[in-house]
């Protein structure tokens, strides 16, 4: 598991935030300052004198309301507050709506090694975009070897030892109309709401490796509907070679969990043997999981009906005795 502890200010200038049209006004040599919190702040209270409001490591957004308030102060008091807020643990200021920084602000920030960035976008747009960017880059993440598929709207992660048939089973499911999210290396991130979101990073996105065939492009072969960019992990199925004498769940009453980033997911061990159509079995497991989410647990209902039948038989025997 890896959990990034920070994002450097220069990363805000990446193409992911191109819609904000961010421009560095000052502090080019300090773009290695670290943003450590996904939530941004508007420093209105701090400019009003409540400096304890500033939380370390957060991007500070200066909009029209902060600028207009600062204009009401006399030059001496304004400069004093500039120097005071620039001395706090602020990694970067972002001025929105293309507003010009007030006189003295850039100098105060330069002296304290705090970069100042400008955006032509509205404050609400800047806050939303940067918050989403930081949340996506600062959440815990891990890489898992497996295949992630979207089957009937359920994110199914196939795991297992190399050569057990994960990619081949996934290809069978894709030909049956389901969608590939990631093959071989699945990146999973845990978001604050507890969701585990899986996706593929790098050039292997939308591709699969099949022994004997090599690398194939799933989207080119099967169309746009055959791939998805991201999907929540709802069910983990571990494929393993059938072993004689090994104990396997026959009724489906055993409910196991598989922890990903300290978050439990429903887990199924599925033995692979000659003659078993693993693709269909995985599809049925996904269908059954959907039914469970809807409150229908087939194994439990069968066990309940069986127990009721046994109880009726016992009562009948008791009366006959």
**Which positions are catalytic?**
145, 166, 184, 250
CB 219 within 8 A of CB 206: yes
Nearest to 146 by CA among 101, 199, 211: 199
Nearest to 206 by CA among 181, 187, 170: 181
Cα distance between residue 125 and residue 174, in whole Å = 38
Nearest to 96 by CA among 71, 74, 75, 66: 66
Cα distance between residue 54 and residue 56, in whole Å = 7
For residue 297, how many other CB atoms are within 10 A of its CB?
16
Query: Residues near 75 by Cβ (< 8 Å), separated by ≥ 6?
Result: 103, 104
Query: Residues near 317 by Cβ (< 8 Å), separated by ≥ 6?
Result: none
Nearest to 218 by CA among 202, 229, 207: 207
């Amino acid at each position: 598991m890896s959990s990034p502890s920070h994002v450097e200010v220069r990363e805000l200038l990446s193409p992911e935030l191109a819609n904000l049209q961010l421009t560095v006004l000052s502090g080019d040599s300090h773009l290695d300052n670290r943003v450590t919190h996904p939530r941004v702040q508007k420093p209105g209270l701090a400019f009003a004198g409540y400096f304890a409001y500033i939380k370390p490591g957060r991007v500070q957004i200066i909009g029209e309301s902060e600028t207009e308030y600062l204009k009401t102060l006399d030059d001496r008091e304004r400069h004093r507050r500039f120097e005071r807020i620039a001395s706090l643990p602020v990694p970067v200021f972002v001025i929105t709506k293309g507003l010009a920084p007030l006189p003295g602000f850039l100098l105060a920030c330069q002296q304290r090694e705090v970069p100042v960035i400008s955006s032509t976008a509205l404050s609400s747009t800047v806050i939303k975009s940067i918050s989403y960017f930081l949340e996506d880059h600062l959440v815990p993440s891990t890489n898992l070897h497996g295949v992630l598929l979207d089957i009937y709207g359920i994110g199914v992660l196939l795991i297992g030892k190399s050569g057990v048939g994960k990619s081949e089973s996934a290809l069978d499911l894709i030909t049956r109309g389901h969608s590939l999210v990631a093959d071989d290396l699945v990146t999973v991130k845990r978001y604050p709401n507890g969701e585990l979101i899986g996706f593929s990073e790098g050039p292997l996105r939308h591709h699969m490796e099949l022994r004997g065939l090599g690398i194939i492009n799933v989207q080119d072969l099967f169309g746009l509907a055959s791939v998805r960019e991201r999907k929540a992990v709802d069910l983990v199925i571990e494929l393993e070679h059938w072993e004689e004498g090994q104990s396997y769940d026959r009724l489906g009453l055993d409910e196991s969990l598989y922890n990903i980033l300290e978050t439990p997911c429903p887990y199924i061990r599925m033995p692979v043997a000659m003659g078993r159509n693993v693709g269909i079995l995985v599809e049925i497991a996904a269908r059954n999981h959907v039914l469970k989410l809807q409150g229908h647990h087939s194994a439990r209902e069968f066990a309940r009906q069986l127990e009721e039948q046994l109880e009726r038989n016992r009562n009948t025997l008791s009366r006959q005795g």
